[in-house]
Structure 1
Amino acid sequence: MKVDPEKTPYRTVYKGRIYYFCSPMCKKEFEKNPDYYLEHGPQGMPGHS
């Protein structure tokens, strides 16, 4: 999914880089273990298979 950085309020900074998210759930999951997501890539919406 592409996220428009100009439109989303969901963002976080990790190791000096800004990451943008489609929802507060995705942002929260990334913040729990950012290195995992940076290594393995997006995993879909949290709580959905």
Structure 2
Amino acid sequence: MVKDPVCDMEVDPEEAPAKAEYEGETYYFCAPGCKRKFEKNPEEYV
């Protein structure tokens, strides 16, 4: 399990509904909305 960087929810990387790459790291999200927030300002969440 990993934490969604936007909402801190626990996410299973194998079943995450959304993911994004940023500076060579893969981030997993509980929902597409969290991914969109992350992509607007990734520095706020890393």
TM-score by length of 1: 0.73
> Matched residues in 1 for 2:33 and 2:39: separation?
10
Q: CA RMSD in A?
A: 0.7
Larger Rg: 1
Q: Whose relative contact order is higher, 1 or 2, with alpha carbons under 8 Å and at least 6 apart?
A: 2
TM-score by length of 2: 0.77
**Between Structure 1 and Structure 2, which shows a larger proportion of helix residues?**
1
**Between Structure 1 and Structure 2, which shows a larger proportion of strand residues?**
2
Runs of 4+ in 1 over 3 A off after TM superposition: none
Identity %: 55
Segments of 5+ residues of structure 2 without an aligned counterpart are: 1-8
